[in-house]
């Protein structure tokens, strides 16, 4: 293995870049240096990529041409990143309605695009095209964030649902073989749905060498696995260098359980199927995520589309700077966050705070209060210090005025704890919603394989803005 690690950067990587014409490692070296530049310089660089993208979309994508026309704008009217607020948002519904003719660039050759589908956690699946020419950009972003998490190691476990793992472009047998031969990397996919602690420990003993390993996975599965390891008192044969979560909200509770069980740091990696590898927890400051502004412009906006102030929660709106086949401009991805202040670490990349799950995962009380997964997590962990009593939880709105908090209890859990939690939630949400804490053996997964932290059983309504 060490031979690979010495030879890979000097021989295999330059050879790969020459033969393939792709330069992800060159791009990676650029990112390592750019992260320390001033925010103004990085914004200017993003703007220099944004301008030609807007001009391209205006000429070649009918949907965006009409969007500009309706707003009475031309591409050259967008002179700064905040000018993007003048252009209406685009959601999954619009992209689905216009696919492919109105939303795909009319000059993109068929060989430049790849077709993908996203299950759409808001219940609105849609198809899209990725841009093969953008692979350097997202691959470099992935390599860069991997270094941030300290998980550049020979063996990586992926823990997600089987269908998600199967769809991962890096799961193809060819890419796995290439990683194994060229980079000496081994990738192990494990389905989180039925991954027990004993089976994981056994698998680890068989696969992992002294040179270390990392875990990437969905936080709900990793937290469940971690809770099981702690509960059963299972000692792992070795512990990972780091854990990286993706795919769903990382709550405080889950982060703590994962860190305790795997005895390492956990990084929150923000990536979407449509726009891969966007942002990740700062290596020096777990409270903030940094956005790779070479890859995308990420804004946090109010309901009316205007920019949210630092610390103010809003919708996450993304402009992908690399995909010219099917441009995503001012794309309302369905996530929520707060715009972050500059990070004291000294890196110039923009920041996000309190990244939260989908809009559909919010609970709304009759009185108009909302409860998000992160808010619930904060209440239970910081506000109420309920961590010692709870392995897992899920809040389910069973009726407009009823909220059931399902809890998989530890052996310290008592009826008094349940009553205290009910009181704390009622204090937060108001008395027009009845809160019941219910101890359960397990929390069921959704048909998609995901575990929702917050779930609504009310009649479905559209959560996509028009
Ligand atoms: Zn930072």
pLDDT of residue 461: 44
Q: How far is the CA of 281 from the centre of ligand 1 (A)?
A: 8
> Residue 252: left if φ>0, alpha if ψ -120 to 50, beta else—which one?
alpha
Q: Helices 13-20 & 24-34, crossing angle to 10 degrees?
A: 120
Q: How far is the CA of 40 from the centre of ligand 1 (A)?
A: 16
In angstroms, rounded to a whole number, what is the distance separating the alpha carbons of residues 408 and 397? 17
Q: How far is the CA of 349 from the centre of ligand 1 (A)?
A: 8
E-assigned strands of 132-265?
A: 155-160, 186-191, 213-217, 243-245
Q: How far is the CA of 165 from the centre of ligand 1 (A)?
A: 30
Q: How far is the CA of 282 from the centre of ligand 1 (A)?
A: 4
Q: How far is the CA of 350 from the centre of ligand 1 (A)?
A: 9
The 3-state DSSP class for residue 317 equals strand
Q: How far is the CA of 43 from the centre of ligand 1 (A)?
A: 16
Residue ranges, the chain, pLDDT below 70: 1-10, 12, 118-125, 161-172, 182-183, 193-194, 357-362, 374-375, 378, 381-385, 387, 448-451, 459-466
pLDDT of residue 123: 40
The 3-state DSSP class for residue 391 equals strand
CATH fold, domain 362-456, is GMP Synthetase; Chain A, domain 3 (3.30.300)
Is the peptide bond between 100 and the residue preceding it cis, with omega within 30 degrees of 0? Answer: yes
> Residue 430: left if φ>0, alpha if ψ -120 to 50, beta else—which one?
left
How distant, in Å, are the alpha carbons of 161, 312, 358 from that of 354?
A: 25, 10, 13
Q: How far is the CA of 295 from the centre of ligand 1 (A)?
A: 17
pLDDT of residue 182: 67
pLDDT of residue 462: 37
What tens digit of pLDDT does each residue of 121-169 get?
Answer: 434 557 899 999 999 999 999 999 999 999 999 899 998 765 566 656 5
Strands 363-364 and 390-399: unpaired
pLDDT of residue 360: 41
What tens digit of pLDDT does each residue of 26-46 get?
Answer: 999 999 999 999 999 999 999
pLDDT of residue 160: 79
Q: How far is the CA of 289 from the centre of ligand 1 (A)?
A: 7
């Amino acid at each position: 293995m060490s031979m690979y690690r010495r030879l890979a950067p000097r021989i295999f990587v330059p050879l790969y870049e020459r033969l393939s014409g792709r330069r992800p490692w060159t791009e990676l070296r650029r990112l390592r240096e750019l992260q320390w530049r001033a925010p103004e310089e990085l914004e200017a660089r993003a703007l220099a990529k944004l301008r030609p993208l807007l001009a391209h979309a205006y000429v070649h994508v009918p949907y965006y041409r009409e969007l500009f026309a309706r707003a009475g704008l031309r591409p050259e009217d967008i002179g700064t990143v905040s000018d993007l607020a003048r252009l209406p948002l685009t959601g999954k519904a619009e992209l689905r309605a216009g696919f492919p003719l109105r939303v795909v660039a009319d000059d993109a050759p068929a060989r430049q695009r790849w077709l993908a589908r996203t299950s759409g956690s808001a219940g609105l699946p849609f198809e899209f095209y990725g841009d093969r020419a953008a692979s350097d950009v997202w691959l470099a972003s992935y390599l860069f964030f991997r270094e941030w998490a300290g998980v550049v190691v020979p063996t990586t476990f992926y823990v997600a649902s089987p269908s998600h793992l199967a769809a991962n472009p890096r799961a193809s047998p060819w890419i796995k073989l290439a990683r194994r031969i060229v980079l000496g990397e081994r990738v192990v996919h494990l389905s989180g749905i039925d991954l027990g602690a004993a089976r994981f420990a056994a698998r680890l003993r068989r696969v992992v060498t002294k040179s270390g390993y990392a875990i990437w996975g969905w936080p709900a599965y990793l937290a469940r696995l971690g809770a099981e390891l702690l509960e059963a008192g299972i000692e792992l044969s070795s512990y990972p260098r780091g854990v990286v979560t993706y795919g769903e909200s990382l709550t405080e509770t889950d982060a703590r359980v994962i860190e305790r069980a795997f005895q390492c740091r956990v990084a929150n990696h923000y990536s979407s199927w449509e726009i891969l590898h966007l942002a990740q927890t700062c290596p020096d400051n777990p409270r903030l995520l940094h956005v790779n502004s070479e890859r995308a412009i990420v804004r946090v906006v109010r309901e009316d589309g205007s920019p949210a102030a630092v610390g103010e929660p809003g919708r996450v709106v993304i402009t992908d700077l690399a995909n010219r086949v099917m441009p995503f401009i001012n794309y309302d991805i369905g996530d929520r966050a707060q715009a972050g202040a500059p990070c004291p670490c000294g890196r110039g990349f923009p920041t996000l705070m309190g990244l939260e799950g989908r809009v559909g995962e919010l609970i709304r009380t009759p009185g108009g209060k909302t409860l998000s997964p992160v808010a619930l997590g904060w209440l239970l962990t910081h506000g109420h210090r309920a961590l010692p009593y709870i392995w897992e939880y899920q809040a389910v709105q069973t009726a407009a005025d009823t909220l059931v908090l399902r809890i998989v209890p530890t052996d310290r859990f008592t009826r008094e704890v349940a009553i205290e939690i009910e009181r704390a939630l009622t204090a937060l949400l108001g008395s027009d919603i009845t809160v019941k804490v219910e101890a359960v053996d397990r929390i069921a997964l959704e048909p998609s394989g995901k575990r929702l932290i917050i779930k609504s059983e009310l009649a479905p309504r559209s959560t996509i803005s028009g």
